[in-house]
């Protein structure tokens, strides 16, 4: 027993050290990567959720005297967080499932391989842990969230649920996409209620738990904006994503549904500019790949280059707050305009938006396991098909053991994430990367269960009934 504990401790320390060396090496090699979104977080713009700007502001406060080097220190923290989160997940799976060291090592290698794909396969110039983007903390925190969610689902430990809730709160306060963690928590809590045959209590517990996290996120958002801007407002421009989908699928005559004449004129100006440049759905080519590519290529052109610019200019020209520019009021006016467009035009475009949604879902399922490319479509079909076959087989043979629970949770997480993202934006890899390591970790463990069963059958076949040797 003591020897086994020493081996497990040595394995745990070894995995942690390998992860730290790996991510810190790339942090030093690549340094901090700034993207077009980075300045918005650094400047603490109101459209950004509060946690990541606060994280960066804290680094600037502590290390700003070092000049731009404070960004590198933020990257070091993100790299350590990524290493620790990866270690925590792998170490938990190693202990919970009593895995052999070589198999657990392969699980750790999967996480590192996904990071390398982001660095070299996607040709980004750096891994997400090196990026001044929300992914720098959201990707490792999501792995940490999943580790505690799995522990709660398997054993209904309240401590694990508490940790999952805290990480969910941070994730949602960093990136709106992470509302998917609320759905996953609700499913896990309800599943725990079913296990105890307390259906009503399970529904109530799921509602209270997710409601508490949601309320906490709103309070942080309002407190952050009150401290920074003097008004207790939540972050702005969430509805711009749905507004972009509306414009992409709209026709010019849909403007007649807008009662406010000024908003109608804004709609027509935006629509005409998008139409001239071929940004809209009816300009896409035929075939799934052409439709997906056209939507991805023109999404930002609609939202940032056209809709955002025109509405921003209108609000600046017609601002009514007096001589002082009021950021909160301006952002609310922008949200009111896009909200009015959505309310009026969405009923006319919802069916066309549904077809875009289906295309996005298929694209998201692909980018979760591979790269967005026609050559990988066949691979993705085989990957999901093999995963489902192994999962069904394992449930039939072993019931809902730890591997089955992990595989089901991973699949649910993929479906929820892709659905949430596809409803309002296109599924580029930075939105689906969260579940890639979980998919391959679950798949490898399912293969391991199948391999154990095969070896067990061979062993029984090769032994005599008395266990003394091979059968004749």
pLDDT digits (tens, 9 = 90+) for 380-436: 999 999 999 999 999 999 999 999 999 999 999 999 999 999 999 999 889 999 999
pLDDT at 322 over 80: no
Residues 175 and 283 in one domain: no
Output the pLDDT for position 471. Answer: 41
Structure confidence by residue, pLDDT tens digits, 70-104: 999 999 999 999 999 999 999 999 999 999 989 99
pLDDT at 333 over 90: yes
CB 139 within 8 A of CB 434: yes
Q: Report the b/e string of 283-296 with b at 16+ CB within 10 A.
A: ebeeeeeebbbbbb
Q: Domain tally for the chain?
A: 3
pLDDT at 201 over 90: no
Q: How far apart are CA 139 and CA 127, in angstroms?
A: 11
- Token pair 């990567």 is found at 33
Residues 214 and 251 in one domain: no
Structure confidence by residue, pLDDT tens digits, 154-176: 999 999 999 999 999 999 999 99
Output the pLDDT for position 121. Answer: 76
DSSP string of 271-315, one letter each residue: HHHHHHTT-SGGGS-SSHHHHHHHHHHHHHIIIIIIIIHHHHHHH
Residues 126 and 151 in one domain: no
pLDDT at 458 over 90: no
Output the pLDDT for position 164. Answer: 96
Beta-ladder partners of 295: none
Q: How far apart are CA 197 and CA 192, in angstroms?
A: 9
Output the pLDDT for position 279. Answer: 97
DSSP conformational letter for 130: G
Q: How far apart are CA 380 and CA 376, in angstroms?
A: 6
pLDDT at 472 over 70: no
Residues 207 and 244 in one domain: no
> Which of 341, 313, 334 shows the shortest CA–CA distance to 256?
341
Residues 270 and 215 in one domain: no
CA distances to 194, 217, 400 from 384, rounded to whole Å, are 28, 35, 19
CA distances to 50, 146, 394, 443 from 449, rounded to whole Å, are 43, 21, 7, 10
CA terminus-to-terminus distance, the chain: 39
| Residue 176 belongs to a domain | yes
For 340, half-sphere exposure in the C-beta direction (CA atoms, 13 angstrom radius) is: 19
Residues 31 and 81 in one domain: yes
> pLDDT class for 123, splitting at 50, 70, 90?
confident
Residue 406: Cβ within 10 Å count: 22
CA angle 312, 314, 315 (to 5 degrees): 65
Both tokens of 123, joined, read: 């040709």
| Residue 392 belongs to a domain | no
Q: How far apart are CA 368 and CA 430, in angstroms?
A: 10
269: exposed, middle or buried (Cβ count in 10 Å: 0-12, 13-18, 19+): middle
Calculate what percentage of the chain has a pLDDT beyond 70.
95
Residues 161 and 288 in one domain: no
Of 352, 378, 403, the domain-final residue: 352
| Residue 107 belongs to a domain | yes
Output the pLDDT for position 460. Answer: 55
> Which of 198, 219, 227, 182 shows the shortest CA–CA distance to 54?
227
Output the pLDDT for position 452. Answer: 87
CA distances to 79, 125, 129, 176 from 34, rounded to whole Å, are 15, 10, 12, 21
Average pLDDT over residues 446-459: 82
Residues 183 and 61 in one domain: no
Structure confidence by residue, pLDDT tens digits, 346-360: 999 999 999 999 999
Residues 117 and 157 in one domain: no
Residues 127 and 169 in one domain: no
> Containing H/E element for 173?
none
pLDDT at 463 over 60: no
| Residue 156 belongs to a domain | yes
Q: Which domain holds residue 169?
A: 146-235
Residues 20 and 38 in one domain: yes
- Token pair 């500019």 is found at 273
Of 110, 133, 156, the domain-final residue: 133
| Residue 417 belongs to a domain | no
| Residue 403 belongs to a domain | no
| Residue 308 belongs to a domain | yes
| Residue 455 belongs to a domain | no
DSSP conformational letter for 131: B
Of 218, 235, 252, the domain-final residue: 235
Helical residues (DSSP H) of 373-435, grouped into ranges: 374-398, 402-422, 429-432
Output the pLDDT for position 128. Answer: 94
> Which of 443, 435, 336, 418 shows the shortest CA–CA distance to 114?
435
Residues 94 and 217 in one domain: no
Average pLDDT over residues 271-290: 94
């Amino acid at each position: 027993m003591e020897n086994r504990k020493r081996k497990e401790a040595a394995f745990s320390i070894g995995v942690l050290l390998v992860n730290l060396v790996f991510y810190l090496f790339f942090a030093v090699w690549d340094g901090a990567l700034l993207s077009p979104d980075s300045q918005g977080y650094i400047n603490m713009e109101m459209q950004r959720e509060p946690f990541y700007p606060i994280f960066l502001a804290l680094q600037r406060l502590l290390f700003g005297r070092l000049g731009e080097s404070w960004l590198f220190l933020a990257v070091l923290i993100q790299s350590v967080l990524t290493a620790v989160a990866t270690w925590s997940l792998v170490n938990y799976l190693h202990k919970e499932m009593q895995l052999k060291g070589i198999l657990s090592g392969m699980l750790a290698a999967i996480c590192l391989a996904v990071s390398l794909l982001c660095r070299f396969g996607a040709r980004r110039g750096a891994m997400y842990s090196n990026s001044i983007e929300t992914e720098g903390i959201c990707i490792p925190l999501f792995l940490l969230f999943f580790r505690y969610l799995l522990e709660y689902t398997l054993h209904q430990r309240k401590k694990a649920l508490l940790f999952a809730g805290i990480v969910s709160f941070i994730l949602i306060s960093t990136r709106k996409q992470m509302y998917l963690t609320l759905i996953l928590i609700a499913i896990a809590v309800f599943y725990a209620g079913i296990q105890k045959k307390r259906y009503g209590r399970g529904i109530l517990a799921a509602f209270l738990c997710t409601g508490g996290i949601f309320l906490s996120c709103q309070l942080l958002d309002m407190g952050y904006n009150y401290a920074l801007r003097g008004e207790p407002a939540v972050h702005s421009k969430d509805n711009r994503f749905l507004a972009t989908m509306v414009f992409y699928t709209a026709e010019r005559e849909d403007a007649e549904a807008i009662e406010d004449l000024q908003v109608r004129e804004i709609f027509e100006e935006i629509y005409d500019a998008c139409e001239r440049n071929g940004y809209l759905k009816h300009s896409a080519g035929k075939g799934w790949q052409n439709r997906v590519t056209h939507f991805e290529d023109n999404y930002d052109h609609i939202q940032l280059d056209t809709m955002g610019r025109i509405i921003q200019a209108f609000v600046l020209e017609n601002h009514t707050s007096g001589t002082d520019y009021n950021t909160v009021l301006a952002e609310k006016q922008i949200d009111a305009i896009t909200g009015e467009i959505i309310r009026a035009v969405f009923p006319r475009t919802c069916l066309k938006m549904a077809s875009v949604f289906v295309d996005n879902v298929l694209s998201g399922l692909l980018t979760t396991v591979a790269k967005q490319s026609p050559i990988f479509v066949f691979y993705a079909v085989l990957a999901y098909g093999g995963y489902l076959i192994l999962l069904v087989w394992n449930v039939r043979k072993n019931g809902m053991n730890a591997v089955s629970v992990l595989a089901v949770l991973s699949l649910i997480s993929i479906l929820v994430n892709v659905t949430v993202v596809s409803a309002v934006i296109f599924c580029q890899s930075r939105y689906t990367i969260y579940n890639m390591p979980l998919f391959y970790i679950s798949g490898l463990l399912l293969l391991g269960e199948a391999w154990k069963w095969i070896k067990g059958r061979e062993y029984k076949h090769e032994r005599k009934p008395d266990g003394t040797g091979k059968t004749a």
